[in-house]
Every structure is written in structure tokens, then in C-alpha cells.
Amino acid sequence: MHKILFFAYSILTCMTVKAQNSTISGTISSNSSPEAYVNIYLKGTQLGAASDENGRYELKNVPAGKYTIIASNIGFEQFRKSIIILKGEDQVVNINLKPSTESLDEMVVTGTLKPVSRLESPVPVEVYTPTFFKKNPTPSIFEALQNVNGVRPQINCNVCNTGDIHINGLEGPYTLVLIDGMPIVSGLGTVYGLSGIPNSLIEQIEVVKGPASTLYGSEAVGGLINIITKDNLSAPDFFVDSFVTDWGEFNLDVGTKFNVGKKANVLLGANYFKYDNPIDNNGDNFTDLTLQDRISVFQKWNFERKDARIFSLASRIFYEDRWGGEMQWTPEFRGGDEIYGESIYTRRWEILGKYQLPVAEQMMLSFSYNDHNQNSVYGDVPYLADQRIGFTQLTWDKTMGKHSLLAGTALRYNYYDDDTPATSNLEGNEPDEVIIPSLFLQDEIMFNNKHSLLLGGRYDYDSRHGNIFTPRAAYRFKFTDNDIIRLNAGTGFRVVNLFTEDHAALTGSRDVIIAEELEPEESFNVNLNFLKKIYSDNGTFISLDASAFYTYFQNVIIPDYDTNPNQIIYDNLDGKSISKGISANIDISMFNGFQFMLGGTLQDVSNTENGVTQRQILTESYSANWSVGYHIRPWSLKIDYTGNLYGPMRLPTLGETDPRRDFSPAWSIQNIQFSYSGLQNFEIYGGVKNLLDWTPNRGNPFIIARANDPFDKEVTFDANGNALATPNNPNALTFDPSYVYGPNQGIRSFIGLRYTLN
């Protein structure tokens, strides 16, 4: 009887408590239209729901108290509002969402050189925001791109750690890097152009895979990366982001914005990175990670003009001192032959801007200029180089009925001078200097809401190579608003400057042989892309993105490491080079705070000459990237697990007697991060990088050949310059640091702090 009475009392008590709780309800809309499947919850609780197809929501059984109500959905800024709930009192909270710049339907400009919704663009453009890169914080965009499917930062030297960006297995010189749409990052400065831009000043990074020479000219053969900086409206008032690692790396980003008078505002940011702790975990007496001291200052001015016309001007100054080499190296050994070191002093400045002409038509003048000075020594070999690139472009954007036209003209100035045979002749030094004028026309035809066709062509004149024409076509078909297929075909070209692009030509003891006058490389590409979005009733969002690609190259220039182990031979391939494969991405975002991203690429990159087909050196046959995140909202804690996997690559060994592996194993870099955002304006983060402690010396007797004799003083050569086997050199090797396919830096922990004031 007592048990029955107790049970009845418990039920009555629960019903009474429940009756005293409240309900929060309302509608969620944007621009007066209801928004379905929006996630809404009370911060610090497990109370949440999703809006229905009419934008209505309801949170039941809310105890009395003070709460922050949060509503979020892909494509909109997060809504936050403080509310007080009294006992037994229901509340109506109607929510109006504002479109976000970090959206799957964001505006993109890279594919067509004009702002367009990503879903409406006939050219597939991948978009990555700072939120994506914060899951695995890095001191530079160069390293951060390891998280992007089909994109791999390739380190080209074990000693100085310079590198380039591979897209779909293609070498770095085939990737064009832009800042705010301007091609100011040259081959000489790729790794530097992707360093020193504070993450908090980046609005988004757009990636196009496949030729884009029709709009961007030379270098955009394999794809392009466009780093788009924030405007002064979207940037925070002040921010600081800094982290350190237990290896001794220190990175600092700081920035602010302010008004100058009534018609100008300035966005100012700086990046500082320092690493001065030599570590040699693999025991070869060489630094595992290059030491660096780098500072970069960026500023962007926006000016108010009549009729909201655009006028912006940005600049960046970059300086870096980096060195790697034998552990006992100090600056007084720079350029000598006693202790081996590779020391690089880099000074670089850039300026770029946009000015909308004061005419009735939509006409935009864009311009950029950069000056890059490099003072390097590789052991006792000096490399002094200057490169300047000026670029100006005038575009006319016009819509006539179903036709969206873009016409333009561009002028590019290239200047390059160094102390190598690349810029000399029988009469002495002769810098490479050329002006390349261009004309281009593009027409996007909107047949209806489902079908659109883009046709374009570009004409360039290079005094060294003559007339160059690059056409392209793109077709988009929308089955529904959430199912899109795109077919793209086009050509690309690249004018070559070996010494600005191939670090292997400057290091080690290999002689550089240029077998003939090199012709510009040309490519033809076809890309088929499918995009699907899925919205579930419970607020889960799924995005599927898959592509198949095929690129055919002619006149391709491949460094030949195999014919003679003491030489790098450059010539135009007498045959063909083909890159083909498939890639896919899946993104899942759930109401409960779980996020999942998985991308994978299967590719075959090969060169065929004289009937013999070989895989391209340093190109993986498959790769995968992933990110798993979970937001524990009551604790204001977010956990991110990121990683990548790369399949075997053919490696540049020094002949048959080299004991190092001819192919790399499959390898993976994995990371975990914990982020706490429970303090107003602050975020504390930390974690572990390279959880598996993987480095490329696993399974290899050594990575750097003849690390004990970097000046080859104890190597015996025959009359033809070939190394001979001797008791102290049984494998007939010479010093060679170009055998590299992954970072030498092992496991390390990190901790950081962000402060943002909006």
C-alpha cells in the first residue's frame, strides 16, 4: 500500500512540476519567408528542436530561468537572444535570420570572374571558410590546405622545406594562386604567398580544379586557389589568435579595423611566426624542421564612392629568414663548405586594388604588382633572384536578355633575373622580361532555370611563343534546386621558368641539363561534377559532391631524375602526359552538434614517352581527408578530429644501388583538437598534431643521401662524373635532399587562445 501511495505521489509531483514549466514557440523566417529545418536550442541545456516546413518551432518543458536562445542553419548567421522565463509563463519568440557569407549557397567569383551564387555557377567552385581551417590550426594557408580533398602541399626539400601545391596530382607550377582575384603569387613565391595572411582576415578560399587559363592566363593549367580577404563590414573590430607547440613554434595573428575620416576605412592585420629550436629526431645530424623567423603586415583600404561604386586598395609586406641544415650550422657558415646549411632571406611586397569606373556600364579596373627578392645559399651555392609581376585588367559586365556577358582585356608584365644560366647568354646576364597582352570574352546563356551554358575564349600574345588561344565551355543542369550536374571542358597553357619553380634544380649535387629550347605546355581538360543537397526533417543537412576528371598534356616538361642520377634533365616530353581520376566529398551536419566530412580521390597521373608509360614522381594514386567534430553545447566544448591518408608515390632515388625505397608506403597524418568557448569573446583551444608520430624515415635506412658528406668531399667520380662505389660510399651515392614526400615533423602538442571583439 505504501509503495502504491509513493508511486502515485511521484507521478503527481512530476505532473505538477511539468505543469509549472513553460513553452517557447514562434516562427523562423528570412526576408519574410519561413525557413524550414532550422536548428534552435537553449544554450547550456539539452532543450532543442527544428522548425517545420512552415518555419514554426516549439520548445516544451522549459524550467524557469535565464537563457540564451540560439538558432542556426547552413547559409545564415547564428541568431542569439537572451530571454527570461517565468514559472508557468509561455513565451513567443519570432526569429529573423540574416544570410551568412559562410554558406553552401555563398557568392563565388573565381569560376566566372563575376559574383554568382555557388549553386548557379556553371563552373564547380569549392569554398572553404576560416571555420573549416580552425579545425586544425596551422601557421600558414600552405599547410592548412592539407585538409582539402585533392589538394596536397608538397614539400620539395628536406632541408629548407619550401614547397608547392598539388591539385589532383599535378605539380605545383600548374596551380595558380590568387589573392582577391589577382595573380600576384608567382612560382618563385608560392610558399611565401601562402604564408603570413592572418586566418581571421580571410573571408573564404575558393578552389577550382581544372584549367582556368581562359580567364586567368598562364599557370592556371591544373587549377587555381583564390584567397579572398574580408571587407571592413564583415571583419571583427579587433582580434588576436596565437598558439604555441611543444616543438617551440610560436604563431601570432593580430588585426583591427578603423575609419579614416568619413569615407575611408582600413582593415589592418599582421602575422608573426618564429621557430628557433633545432630538432633532429631521425639522427642524421640535419634539422627535421626548417627554422623560421617571419613577419607579414597586411592592410586593405575601402573608400566610399557615389552610387556605391567599388574602390579598394590592399598591400602586404613580407619578410622571412629561414634555414635548415646540419645541427651545428650558424650564420657565419653561410655560403661556406665547412658546415652545410640552406639559408633563405626573402623580402616581398605586394599591392593590389579594384576601381569601378564612374560610367553607367559595369566596368571594373583591377591591378596588382609584386616585387620578390630572394637571397639564398644552398651549401656553398648562392642563388640570388629578383622577380616582379605587374598585372592590370579591365572587365565589362553586361546582361542582355538571356545572355550574361563578360569581356575584358589584360596586360601582364613579367620580370625575372637570377645568378643561374636561366638568365644568361654568351654576352652575359640577360634578365627574362616580357609583356603579355590578352583579350577574353565569356557568355553565359541562361536558357531557363534548369539549363545554362557558358562559352568563353582567350587570346594571349607572348613574344617568345607567339599567339596562344584558350577556349572553354561549361554546361549546368539543375534537376531540382538541390540536384545539379555540371560538365566543363577547356584548355590551358603555361609558360615555363624552371628556376622559379623547381627547388631540386638548386640543391644537392645534381647538374641541371636543359636539353632543348622549351615550348609552353598545353592541356585539355574535361570535368564532370554532381552536387546534391539533402535536408531532413530533424535538421540534419547532407551535401554530396562528386567529380570525374581527365586532363591531357602535350609539351609537358618533366624533370628526369632517372637517366643519370647526377643530373636533372629538362625537356619537353616527346609523348603525352595524362591525369585522370574521380573524387567525392560528403558533408553531414546534425542538430545535436555532430559534424562529419569525408573526401577521397582516386587518380592516375602518368607520362608516356617512346611507348613507355610511367607514373609521375611524387604523385599519390589515392588520397582521403576527413574531419569529425562534435559540439557539446552545455559545456561550450567542441572536439575536432582531422586527418588525411595518401597512397604510395614513386620517389626520386639515385639509381639502382640506392637503398632507399623506390615507392613510399601509404601514410597518414592525424590530429585532434579541443576548443572551449565558454568565456565571452574568448576561445581556448589545444590538442595534438600527428597523433601517429609518422615521419618518412620509417622503413628507410636514411632520408637524406650522404648526410655525413654534404659537399661530396669523399665521393669519387669517374671521367663521366658518375659516383663510384668505394669503402666509405658502397652505394655510389651523392648528397641529395630531394627525396621527400612528407613532413619530417613528428607528434607534438599545441595550445592557443583567440580573442575576437565584434
Tens digits of residue pLDDT in 182-210:
876 655 556 666 776 777 778 888 888 87
Report, in angstroms and rounded to the nearest whole number, the Rg of the chain calculated over CA atoms.
28
Instruction: Compare 99 and 554 and report the one with higher pLDDT.
Output: 554
CB 487 within 8 A of CB 472: no
What pLDDT is attached to residue 51?
A: 81
What percent of the chain stands above pLDDT 70? 86
CB 372 within 8 A of CB 350: no
Contacts of 413 (CB under 8 A, 6+ apart): 388, 389, 390, 391, 434, 435, 436
Strand partners, 428: 425
Lowest mean pLDDT among 23-27, 218-222, 465-469: 218-222
What pLDDT is attached to residue 515?
A: 63
Q: Is the pLDDT at 7 greater than 50, yes or no?
A: no
Tens digits of residue pLDDT in 140-164:
888 888 889 999 888 878 898 887 7
Res. 76 pLDDT band, cuts 50 70 90: low
Q: Is the pLDDT at 280 greater than 60, yes or no?
A: yes
Q: Which contacts (CB < 8 Å, 24+ apart) does range 46-52 have? A: 46/633, 46/634, 48/591, 48/592, 50/537, 50/538, 50/539, 50/591, 51/27, 52/537
Instruction: Compare 39 and 148 and report the one with higher pLDDT.
Output: 148
Evaluated on CA atoms 163, 164, 168, 171, the torsion sign reads: negative
What pLDDT is attached to residue 72?
A: 74
What pLDDT is attached to residue 14?
A: 42
Res. 704 pLDDT band, cuts 50 70 90: very high
Tens digits of residue pLDDT in 386-440:
889 899 999 999 999 999 999 999 999 988 888 876 677 777 788 888 899 999 9
What pLDDT is attached to residue 40?
A: 85
What pLDDT is attached to residue 15?
A: 41
Terminal-to-terminal C-alpha distance of the chain: 63
- Best CA proximity match to 741, nearest among 653, 656, 614, 670: 653
Helix (H) or strand (E) holding 757: strand 748-757
Strands (E), 635-743: 637-646, 667-676, 682-689
User: CA distances (Å), 564 to each of 278, 501, 559, 568, 610, in order?
Assistant: 34, 21, 11, 8, 18
Contacts of 244 (CB under 8 A, 6+ apart): 250, 251, 750, 751, 752
Helix, coil or strand: residue 734: coil
Tens digits of residue pLDDT in 609-649:
888 888 888 899 999 999 999 988 889 899 999 999 999 99
Helix, coil or strand: residue 523: strand
Strand partners, 524: 491, 552
DSSP string, 679-708: STTEEEEEEEE-TT---TTTT-S-SSBTTT
CB 69 within 8 A of CB 75: no
CA 282 to chain centre: 29
pTM for the full predicted model: 0.82
Would you give the DSSP letter of residue 218? T
Lowest mean pLDDT among 164-178, 216-230, 260-274, 508-522: 508-522
**Region 351-376 average pLDDT:** 93
Burial of 392 (0-12, 13-18, 19+ CB in 10 A): middle
- Strands 432-446 and 403-418, sheet pairing: antiparallel
Q: How far is Cα 505 from Cα 510, in angstroms, rounded to an integer?
A: 8
Strand partners, 484: 478, 531
User: Which residue segments constitute the domains of the chain, with CATH numbers given?
Assistant: 2-96 (2.60.40.1120), 238-509+628-643+660-757 (2.40.170.20)
Tens digits of residue pLDDT in 562-610:
677 666 677 777 788 899 999 999 999 887 778 899 999 999 998 888 8
What pLDDT is attached to residue 350?
A: 92
Tens digits of residue pLDDT in 494-528:
766 655 545 545 554 556 666 666 777 788 889 99
- Best CA proximity match to 136, nearest among 676, 749, 667, 689: 689
Helices and strands: H and E segment counts in the chain? 5, 45
Would you give the DSSP letter of residue 650? B
Tens digits of residue pLDDT in 116-125:
777 778 888 8
Q: Is the pLDDT at 8 greater than 70, yes or no?
A: no
Q: Is the pLDDT at 699 greater than 90, yes or no?
A: no
Q: How far is Cα 301 from Cα 306, in angstroms, rounded to an integer?
A: 16
